[in-house]
Amino acid sequence: MPKQVRAFEFLGLGAVAIALIMFLSVSKQILSIGESGMPQGIVVFAVAATFGFYILLAVMVLVTARRRSNIAKWLLIALFGYAFGSAIGTDQLNPKNGFYAFASMGFYLCGLAAIYFLFTSESRAWFKGGVPARDASA
């Protein structure tokens, strides 16, 4: 596996870890929503959907890096684009949000850097089935 694909995997899984930390940092607020009169089932569904999204992102990163899946690569880019677009449309990146905004920026920067490494010349050659000469032993 080329260095660039390893960098993609590292940054992609790092972005998922940052997203989990972000989610855990606001878990008290999420649980307090359920106590404010909103049906408990909706809160449980929202938490399960969020964890499901993070698991899907992690699986897509691993399938893209380990199985050379172009379908997973483009699905991952679409999911990341959707998340980034929804963050821009909301107040998520507002510096007034403190740690959450800082962590969100870290998530998106890691994700953008990971996607960059998918499109380097060595990564593209590796996804087409060729192994670069200097990484043939890996």
The pLDDT, as a whole number, for residue 109 is 93
For residue 106, count CB atoms less than 10 angstroms from its CB and return exposed for 0-12, middle for 13-18, buried for 19 or more: middle
pLDDT in tens, the chain (138 residues): 889 999 999 999 999 999 998 888 877 777 676 666 777 777 778 888 888 888 999 999 999 999 988 899 999 999 888 888 888 878 777 788 788 888 888 999 999 999 999 999 988 988 888 665 455 444
- The whole-number pLDDT of residue 31 equals 67
Q: How confident is the model at residue 131, as a pLDDT?
A: 62
Any idea where the domains of the chain sit in the sequence? 3-129
Eight-state DSSP code of residue 134: G
- DSSP class per residue in 15-75: HHHHHHHHHHHTHHHHHHHHHTTS-HHHHHHHHHHHHHHHHHHHHHHHHHHHH--HHHHHH
Query: The whole model's pTM is what?
Result: 0.80
What is the pLDDT, as a whole number, of residue 6? 94
